[in-house]
Amino acid sequence: MTVPESSSLVLIDTSAWICHFDRKGYLDIKSQISTLLDENLAAITGSILIELIQGCRTLKEKTALNKCIKGIHQLQIIDDHWHKAADYAYSLRRKGVTASVVDALIATIAIEYQCKLLHKDSDYNLIAKHTPLKLYSPDS
């Protein structure tokens, strides 16, 4: 299987994964994630992995999650990303938008790898208004 350019990948935020794994509802996000997985376009980063694993209730859930995540593109966080995330967080705060450390980092990863972000967290809509963050829509 060929590796796609990072610009065609979609970084899937924890908020979207939670919808994907929910037993009911969120059919639109479940469908979008399934399509991205089938097309080998789903991406994750370490901070999202930590949030997902932290939310597991049992060892069985954790094992199943790790198995699911194994084949997904891993976007690496480098030192420069922390500095850029800090700059975005600083700039956003000056515009009245307070982003969590993790949200600022995830947005920065999506921006730096030039991929879109699939989420179910309204904070990213605010971040996208003031940064180069591009949000995923199945029509885009």
Identify whether 140 is part of a domain: no
pTM of the model as a whole: 0.93
- Structure confidence at residue 5 (pLDDT): 73
Identify whether 1 is part of a domain: no
CA neighbor of 130 nearest in space, from 83, 82, 98, 101: 98
In total, the chain counts a number of residues equal to 140
CA neighbor of 53 nearest in space, from 63, 44, 43: 63
Strands 116-118 and 73-75: unpaired
- Structure confidence at residue 70 (pLDDT): 87
- Structure confidence at residue 7 (pLDDT): 78
CA neighbor of 106 nearest in space, from 55, 19, 44: 44
Identify whether 82 is part of a domain: yes
Question: Which CATH number do you get for residue 92?
Answer: 3.40.50.1010
Q: How far apart are CA 39 and CA 4, in angstroms?
A: 10
Q: Which domain holds residue 107?
A: 6-130
- Structure confidence at residue 119 (pLDDT): 97
Identify whether 139 is part of a domain: no
Residue spans of the chain under pLDDT 70: 1-4, 140
- Structure confidence at residue 71 (pLDDT): 86
- Structure confidence at residue 140 (pLDDT): 60
Q: How many domains does the chain have?
A: 1
Q: How far apart are CA 123 and CA 33, in angstroms?
A: 20
Identify whether 136 is part of a domain: no
- Structure confidence at residue 130 (pLDDT): 97
